[in-house]
Structures are given as C-alpha cells and as structure tokens.
Structure 1
C-alpha cells in the first residue's frame, strides 16, 4: 500500500458510493487508474466490502431485529383474549396458536435489543404470558428468484 492507496481509502471511508471518476478527480488519477487501484485493494483484502449505515429514520422493515417468541400463557389467561391483545401491538407481526409446551409463537420486529426487552416485559405484564423463550433471526429468508429456484 502506498500514499495513493491511503488517499483512496480515506475517500471511500467518507463516501463508499464515490464513482471511479469522482475518486480519480479527488486524488489526481484517471478514472481507469482509480478503478484499477480500487479493484486491487479489493482483491488483496484491504477493502472487504461496502455497507450502508442506516440512520434513526430508516423504516423498521429495513433496520432492527426480527425475533421469534414462544409464549406460554398464565393459566387464567384466555387464548382468544391474548390473540386480540397481540393484534394491537405494532411490534408483533404475526401470532400463531401452536401445539406443544407453548401456546403461541410470535414473529416480532423491534428496532434494537432494548426495544425487544421492553416488548418481552409488555407481553408478560399486559399480555398475560407466564413464560417466554426468544430466538433472534440471524438472516432473513430471501424471496425466490423465479420458478425452479431453491428457496432455502
């Protein structure tokens, strides 16, 4: 790595979407020379990727956490009453009555772990849950690319 590579990295840190021509103008290279250097930095592992940093105004569907919450209701809580309550909670995307040791499986979406903690407390305090078990979604399911493509 030389001084020009360091300049490239400085510019890309400030604006990862800079075009090769803008990058070249900024550091005094032609568009092609800038492209060659960026590709070399990528191949050598100095640049491993680009990312979008979402601000606080990003829609919840784009940022945040998706989780699955198993809910066991208090013995005195009515199942239909819980379902009606859950339908009014914005963070609960889906509530499915299930068999097994839990009564419901919830699919939820919150902005961060603190909001998830608050939602779990709400489910217990107001929803009548005696017990919950939570799993975080690490990777969303991607939509099919077309007929015959593998979904999972």
Structure 2
C-alpha cells in the first residue's frame, strides 16, 4: 500500500493518541469522518496499523528493572535461531527481542520486579535453553527517552 500525505497524517496522529475519536482525527487530517474511518480500516488491513495499546509505566505496575541481555548462540543455524525465538516468545519478561548482527546474536529487553526476579529468570529460563553459549546482562540506570512513535515523514 502506497501512503499519501493524508495517510501519513493519520498515522502520525494515531501514534500520539490511538484512542482519538474518528471525528477528531478527521478534523486533524482534513477529511470528513466516513473517508477518514475508511482510510484507518485500510491502514489496519494493510498491516501498517498493527494494533492499539495503552502505554504502561513499568515502575507503577511493579516492574521497575529493565535489563538488556545480549545472547550468543553456539551455532547460528536456522533451526537454532528458530528454537531460541520460539522459547523467548513464551516468556512475558522479555518485552523486546532483536536478532542482531555483530558479536551477539540477540539483544533482549527484560523487565522484572527486582534483581532476584532477574536471577530467577536467568537460572530457570534463559540458561536452560539448549544452544546458548553466553549471556551478557546490562542494567538500565534510568530512561532518557522512550517513544512508540515512528518518525513518519
């Protein structure tokens, strides 16, 4: 789907407020409500808008610790990569995971309540995965910037 200027304005507006009523969104992008709603549905069907979610403050729900874990696998064959991806997809503590280039194979962000919870996560889950050669953990001291909005032009 090729995005025109109005589609991009819709995307930018919904990134700032996904609960915006259609009429308000239509006013912001210069359309009437029906064509605006139709464009939103088209963006959803095309997978450009993947869903809507509330942005939660992790500390206020008892998850103040963010850990960035770099994982190196013993081998980088497709089966091993798939097995790792399937395993971590079941773990709610892993909120982000990226397959990487360079020295490490995966970079994950893990949220936990405290250091003991991270230790349990390591011992009971991550270190028990077959094929994991090494794990390097870094603890976030503070959040400088976090955005869910993409810099759509």
TM-score by length of 2: 0.49
Higher radius of gyration, 1 or 2: 1
Bigger helix share: 2
* Bigger RCO of structures 1 and 2 (CA < 8 A, at least 6 apart): 2
TM-score by length of 1: 0.50
